[in-house]
Amino acid sequence: MIKILKIEFNNFRQYKHVTINFDQNCKNHLHILKATNGTGKTNFLNAVLWCLYADEKYLSDTSRALPIINESVVENSKAGDKLFVNVRMTICDEKNNIEFSRTQDFTVIEDPFKKNKNVIPGLCTFKIIITNLNDPNKNTVVYDDESYTLSIVKQYFDVEIFDYYFFNGENLENYFSTDANKTGKIKKSIYNLAQVTLLETAIDRVSKMAVEKSRKSNQGSSWEGFGYYRDLEQCKNDIINLTAANTQYEEENNENIKRLSEINETLNNIKPIKLQQESREKLVKRLKELEEQKLQGKSNSMFLKPEKIKLFGTE
């Protein structure tokens, strides 16, 4: 069950700083606001409408409507002052406290000739604060994204059947109309409140996104572009295949190096072969020595003088 806890007004029309708390001990949670004409009953409904939907449904003449900001606040301000209007409504369900809050700023201007003041409307913001009642720390989450806040408002207060949340006594005869259009709106709103259409809406949105993506993809494609795409895919596949082959070759090469090392170690440890290798090394060393001696002998014979040579048996 949804229950309204309180509604707070700050500078909204004649409601300068007003907080209305609703009795939580009543059995049916039906509250009646009773007052004489001209005291602000209609503006009370307009404030709630403005808070939830940024609209004032019950203005008698929207073309001649004054700004929503309290007139006395404007008159007591100076030119250039920044003023704010805020309406907050706090409700609760079985799990959460939900606060709907809308704020708009206004800048005061003054006519130097007529000496009267007016305001220029500025930024209007809307946020929803949800506090989990089952959380012992009472953590709160603030939502200010427009698309998401609108879905939350629709979940609790569907604008199509606003009159059935907040009754306006002046239009009481319309509540029992058998108008088929109104009956259809009520049925649709009940589905929205029960979130029956939530999945259908999500499916429809995803389908539209898929169609849009497909359309953009088709618009951007051509045979030339398709060829580039095909070549790119082929290059990617070649890189994958070459990388795999290179990895296999590296593994085989490492295995061969390991095997060669094992073979050399085995050969070096065989005694006959080892002796032959040592003998070979000695012979190679002796050969080098003889080569050097040979070269040295040739060098010495080149420097011998003829007159110094004596033949055996001669003077």
Residue type, 305: K
Report how far residue 61's alpha carbon sits from residue 75's, in angstroms, rounded to the nearest whole number: 23
Residue 225, judged by CB atoms within 10 A of its CB (0-12, 13-18, 19+), counts as exposed
Query: Crossing angle for the helix pair 271-302 and 223-268, nearest 10 degrees?
Result: 90
Confidence of residue 315 (pLDDT cuts 50, 70, 90): very low
What pLDDT, on the 0 to 100 scale, is given for residue 223? 45
What pTM does this model have?
0.56
Kindly indicate whether the domain formed by 3-174 is annotated with CATH number 3.40.50.300: yes
Report how far residue 72's alpha carbon sits from residue 15's, in angstroms, rounded to the nearest whole number: 11
What pLDDT, on the 0 to 100 scale, is given for residue 308? 47
Strands 15-21 vs 3-12: parallel, antiparallel or unpaired: antiparallel
Per-domain boundaries in the chain:
3-174, 177-220, 224-297
pLDDT in tens, 127-139: 999 999 888 777 8
How many secondary structure helices (H) and strands (E) does the chain include?
Answer: 7, 6
How many other CB atoms sit within 10 Å of the CB of residue 50? 21
pLDDT in tens, 285-308: 888 888 888 777 766 655 555 554
- Would residue 54 be called left, alpha or beta, if left means φ above 0 and alpha means ψ between -120 and 50 degrees? left
φ, ψ (nearest 5 deg) of residue 295: -65, -35
Residues 6+ apart with CB under 8 A from 195: 155
Confidence of residue 176 (pLDDT cuts 50, 70, 90): low
- Name the DSSP class of 69: B
How many other CB atoms sit within 10 Å of the CB of residue 42? 19
The answer to which of 103-107, 130-134, 220-224 has the lowest mean pLDDT is 220-224
Residue 203, judged by CB atoms within 10 A of its CB (0-12, 13-18, 19+), counts as exposed
Confidence of residue 312 (pLDDT cuts 50, 70, 90): very low
Q: Which residue has the tokens 């700023």?
A: 105
**Are residues 104 and 84 in contact, defined by beta-carbon separation less than 8 angstroms?**
yes
Closest CA to 152 of 121, 130, 120, 119: 130
- Name the DSSP class of 276: H
Three-state secondary-structure class, residue 152 = helix
Q: Give me the residues paired with residue 85 across strands.
A: 104
Residues 6+ apart with CB under 8 A from 239: none
Residue 183 has pLDDT above 60, yes or no: no
The answer to which of 43-52, 69-78, 146-155 has the lowest mean pLDDT is 146-155
**Are residues 71 and 81 in contact, defined by beta-carbon separation less than 8 angstroms?**
no
pLDDT in tens, 1-38: 788 999 999 999 999 999 999 888 877 777 888 888 87
